[in-house]
Amino acid sequence: MSRPAEWNESKPEELMTFMSDAADRSAESVLADGAGSYPFGPVAATAHWDGQAWQPPRIVTPQQTELKYRRTALPFLGHLWFWLVFFGTGYTVATLLYTESNPSVTGLVSWPGFVAALTGVVLLLSRHLYPPRQAPYFVVLWWGIMAGTAAFVIALLVELAVDLSVDSPAALLGLQAGLIEETSKLLFPVLMLSLGSSRFGSPRLGVLLVAATSATFGAAEAALYLANASAEELWTLAPRTLGEMSHVLWTATAAAVVWLAAWRRKKVITLAGLIGWGLAVAMHAGNDAVFVQLSRVGTEDSGFTTFDFMAQLAIVGGWISLVGLVVVVWFLLSRIAIRELVPPSLVQVSSRGWRPRLRSWGT
């Protein structure tokens, strides 16, 4: 699928004219890092930033010294994203373990914790893609919620249809979910990329849009689990607060590759993009396959009602530790792709792990 001709033109003033004035101002902030050659980390090297993405190859610049980074202890404590994840997770655990009421009320009360934690992950990615107060949140929120809601409905209907028509063994349930859900989360953003390239062609905007779409998907999935859980099962959903964050990381990883390759190749569908999508499917499928098997250990015969409160607390704590560790691994893997989009103004204040490596995706 070829990219429309207008992608070849530089029309920053038309980036978001279809939205309100507030959205226009947010979109114009995307252009804060103007085109030019900038240092991106290595000693004696710069690279060309075209206003939206880095373009290989690196340029040998003998007078360029290595960018310095001032390390601070526990820097995440000063960022909103961390506290949204921390308090969102804590709130959900507390309500699911301590609230004594009917399941529907407990689920409704605990759901905002999922929303807060997922919002925190989106903000975490945003702070590495846009300078402070310059991210186009209005556009991302508007389209992300709509795309995420539609993706969830489609994935739910497809999974129900597959379950009714195919008796899939447990080992394939993870692959099934990974394929259907990752495809549905990318479907509408990629359609928007194809049909509205002048608005959604920016790789950074694309990643943030997909992150918001995936966060909406995760929040909707959490609501479905909460609504279907019995009173005895509700407490077992507490670790899903962290687990749902993986939805954002998996698909944002694919989005970084899809959008960067599309921007460079001037085509929506690229080999690199397909590999990125396949990687997201593989991460999702592997994650689900492992945790489905682990969740069955020790619970098939004993049932949920045999655990007293202290046992529940210990089990939830263990699961949160395990899931949290896995989410950190997914985050580190996603950073490999997303850091390729860190703009020049943020490279200088980013740690080495967040500095671009100038991967040749799409070139």
Q: What residue numbers bound the domain in which 275 lies?
A: 76-354
**pLDDT, position 45:** 84
Higher-scoring residue by pLDDT: 45, 342: 342
pTM: 0.84
- The mean per-residue pLDDT over the stretch 26-42 comes to 67
Decide if 327 is inside a domain: yes
Confidence of residue 15 (pLDDT cuts 50, 70, 90): very low
Decide if 257 is inside a domain: yes
- Peptide bond between residue 112 and the one before it cis (omega within 30 degrees of 0): no
Decide if 58 is inside a domain: no
Is the per-residue pLDDT at 20 higher than 80?
no
**pLDDT, position 262:** 94
Alpha carbons 130 and 111: distance in angstroms, whole number = 29
Q: Mean pLDDT highest for which of 119-123, 165-169, 224-228?
A: 119-123
Q: How many domains does the chain have?
A: 1
Decide if 261 is inside a domain: yes
Higher-scoring residue by pLDDT: 18, 244: 244
Decide if 69 is inside a domain: no
Alpha carbons 277 and 189: distance in angstroms, whole number = 13
Decide if 283 is inside a domain: yes
The predicted-structure confidence for 123-160, as pLDDT tens digits, reads as follows 999 999 998 878 888 888 899 999 999 999 999 999 88
Decide if 339 is inside a domain: yes
Q: What is the DSSP string of 275-313?
A: HHHHHHHHHHHHHHHHHHHHHHTTTTTT-STT--HHHHH
- The mean per-residue pLDDT over the stretch 71-80 comes to 85
Provide the 8-state DSSP code for 56.
E
- The mean per-residue pLDDT over the stretch 57-84 comes to 83
Is the per-residue pLDDT at 6 higher than 50?
no
Is the per-residue pLDDT at 49 higher than 50?
yes
The predicted-structure confidence for 251-260, as pLDDT tens digits, reads as follows 999 999 999 9
Decide if 107 is inside a domain: yes
**pLDDT, position 70:** 74
